[in-house]
Copies of this chain bind each other. A is one copy, B any other.
Amino acid sequence: MDFVLGIDGGGTSCRAALAAPDGRVLARASSGAANIRTDLTNARTHIVEAARRAFVEAGQDPELLVRTPAVLGLAGANVGTYRQQLQAILPFRESRVESDAEIALEGAVGSGDGAIAVLGTGSAYRVRRGGVSRPVGGWGFQVGDQASGARVGRDLLEQTLLAYDGICEASALTREIMAVFRDNPEDLVEFTVSAKPGDYGGFAPKVFEYAAEGDVVARSIVSKAIADVEGALGALDLREGDVLCLLGGLAGLYAPLLAARYQPLLREPRGDALLGAVRMAARRFGTSVETVNG
C-alpha cells in the first residue's frame, strides 16, 4: 500500500488529507458539506471529491483512491445506521467511519487515554480510557450543548428581555444588546424567529468580555456556563495525570476560568481532527504503531 486517507466531514465542508503509510501528510484538500444525516448521497460525492483533490494536490493519480484505505470522521456517524449505509457506498479500498468527536479526540490527545471538551457553537465531550472511548453531551442546541456559544448567546438575549421587562437586573451588556436591536424588543424577537445556533453563538464572545469587566448579567451567564462545563467534566471521571484538551472557538475563553483542579490536566491539542483521522488511518491500515508526533 502506498497511501492512507484521513477525512473530516461536517455540515459546512469536507476536508481530506493524503498521507504516507506512516501517517506523514502529503497533501490536503477540501470540498463541500458532508452531512450524512440530511443528504447521504451528496455527502458521499463531497467525500470522494475531497479525496480526489488530495491525490491531485500530492501529484498522484486520483484513481488510486480505490486502492487506498480511509478513516473518516463524520458528524452524525454515531446515530442510527448512517455509518453502515455510508461504508457500503464508499469507493475506498476499505473505509472506517468514526464520529467527528472520535477523530477530534485522536487529533488532540493521540491514541492513548485522554479527554476533550469541544466548546464552540455547540458543545460535546469525549473521554478515552484503556482504549475505550465514551461520549458525553453533544445533544444539540435545543436540549443540550450547555455552555456552547449558542446557549450562552441565547441566554444573553433571554436575560436582555427579562431586564427590559424589569424582571431581572439590567446591565451595560443588556443595554448594549437592546441598542443592537434599536431598543425594540420586537426586533430582538424577530431575530430569534429564524436564528440558527451560529447566530446566537455570535454573541458569546461579548458575554465573556463583559464578564471579565464585572458586568453582573454577563458574570451570571458565564458562571452558569462554567458550572455546566465542570458538570460535564465531572461525568468524564478524570483523574490526576489525565490529559484534557479544550477545543472549539471558546476553548481559550473557558480554559482560565475552570476550577483549579482541572488546570493541571489542560494541554494544548496535538493536532486537529483531520490529523486525528490520518493518525487512525496510519495506525489501522499503515505502518504507524503509535501516534504520529506522539
Contacts and interface: CB of A to CB of B under 8 A. Distances in A.
B137 A189 contact: no
- 9 smallest beta-carbon distances between A and B, as pairs: A142-B192, A143-B157, A143-B158, A166-B235, A167-B235, A167-B231, A79-B186, A136-B165, A139-B161
Nearest to A186: B79
Nearest to A168: B231
Given A165-B235, A235-B167, A143 B192 contact: yes
A80 B143 contact: no
A157 B143 CA distance: 6
Stoichiometry, copies per complex:
2
A129 to B, nearest CB: 14
B232 A167 contact: yes
B231 A139 contact: no
Interface of A: 78-80, 136-137, 139-140, 142-144, 146, 154, 157-158, 161-162, 165-168, 185-186, 188-190, 192-193, 195, 231-232, 234-235
Contacts of A189: 79, 139-140, 143-144
Give the most central of A80, A165, A166, A192: most B CB within 10 Å.
Answer: A165
Contacts of A234: 167
Given A139-B161, A144-B158, 9 more contacts: A79-B190, A137-B161, A137-B165, A139-B185, A140-B192, A143-B154, A144-B161, A162-B231, A165-B235
B161 A195 contact: no
A142 B168 contact: no
A97 to B, nearest CB: 16
Contacts of A79: 186, 189-190
A75 B186 CA distance: 13
A39 B181 CA distance: 24
A191 B273 CA distance: 29
30 contacts: A78-B186, A79-B186, A79-B189, A79-B190, A80-B186, A136-B165, A136-B166, A136-B167, A137-B165, A137-B167, A139-B185, A139-B188, A140-B193, A142-B154, A142-B157, A142-B192, A142-B195, A143-B154, A143-B158, A143-B161, A143-B188, A144-B161, A144-B189, A146-B162, A165-B232, A166-B235, A167-B231, A167-B232, A167-B234, A168-B231
A231 B161 CA distance: 13
Contacts of A195: 142
